[in-house]
Amino acid sequence: MNDEGETLSEHWLVTSQFSFENIALTRPAARAGAAAPTFKYLACGVCDRGPVGIVFLDKPSEFFVAHARVKYA
């Protein structure tokens, strides 16, 4: 199992959950070694593919959507 993760540096910052048409949020998750959940992943609300982004629980109005994880025109 690889616990190193992946670093994505290019993203969009979306400030409202209502900006999305089809986005799902995972259950709260914790970083390795954290005592409490700190974030939720964003996934496609239609096909459940993801994660396509992340939202941190301490800043619930900041949704980070990774460029590398979505197709756009």
- Please report, in tens digits, the pLDDT of each residue of the chain (73 residues total): 456 677 888 999 999 888 888 899 999 998 888 889 999 999 988 888 889 999 999 999 999 999 888 876 6
pLDDT on residue 3: 61
Give me the pLDDT at residue 49, please: 85
Q: Residue 56: name the closest of 71, 70, 34, 67 by CA.
A: 34
| Cβ proximity of 38 and 27 under 8 Å | no
**Per-residue model confidence (pLDDT) at position 1:** 46
Of 61, 36, 58, 40, the residue nearest 50 (C-alpha): 40
